């Protein structure tokens, strides 16, 4: 089956039909999707409370915590002519 984007409301409706007693095969034939997709959406909903999967955090982890960044920002605003070795 080719990849296609299915909206969240269609995914939720499919899960509602399954919870109302429909067989997964019947839901899939009516909505034109594969049973594995419905099972995956159900697993996402059970684990995260949403039918869409959570996006993983991208990029490199920050070296400085938000608290340290805030303190440095305040320090720079208080004394903008300060050199790096004075910090």
Q: What is the pLDDT of residue 1?
A: 56
DSSP 8-class letter at 86: G
Output the average pLDDT for the chain.
89
The verdict on pTM exceeding 0.75 is: no
> Domain-by-domain residue ranges, the chain?
8-48
Residue 53's pLDDT is 82
Q: 30-39, 41-50, 53-62, 65-74: lowest mean pLDDT where?
A: 53-62
Mean pLDDT value of segment 54-62: 82
How far is it, in rounded angstroms, from Cα 33 to Cα 38? 8
Q: Are 31 and 11 in contact (CB under 8 A)?
A: no
Q: For 39-67, what is the mean pLDDT?
A: 88
């Amino acid at each position: 089956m080719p990849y296609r984007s299915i909206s969240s409301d269609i995914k939720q409706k499919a899960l509602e039909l399954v919870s109302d007693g429909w067989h997964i095969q019947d839901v899939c034939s009516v909505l034109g999707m594969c049973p594995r997709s419905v099972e995956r959406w159900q697993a996402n909903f059970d684990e995260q409370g949403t039918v869409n999967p959570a996006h993983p955090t991208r990029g490199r982890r920050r070296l400085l915590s938000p608290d340290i960044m805030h303190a440095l920002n305040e320090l720079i605003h208080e004394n903008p002519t300060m050199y790096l070795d004075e910090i």
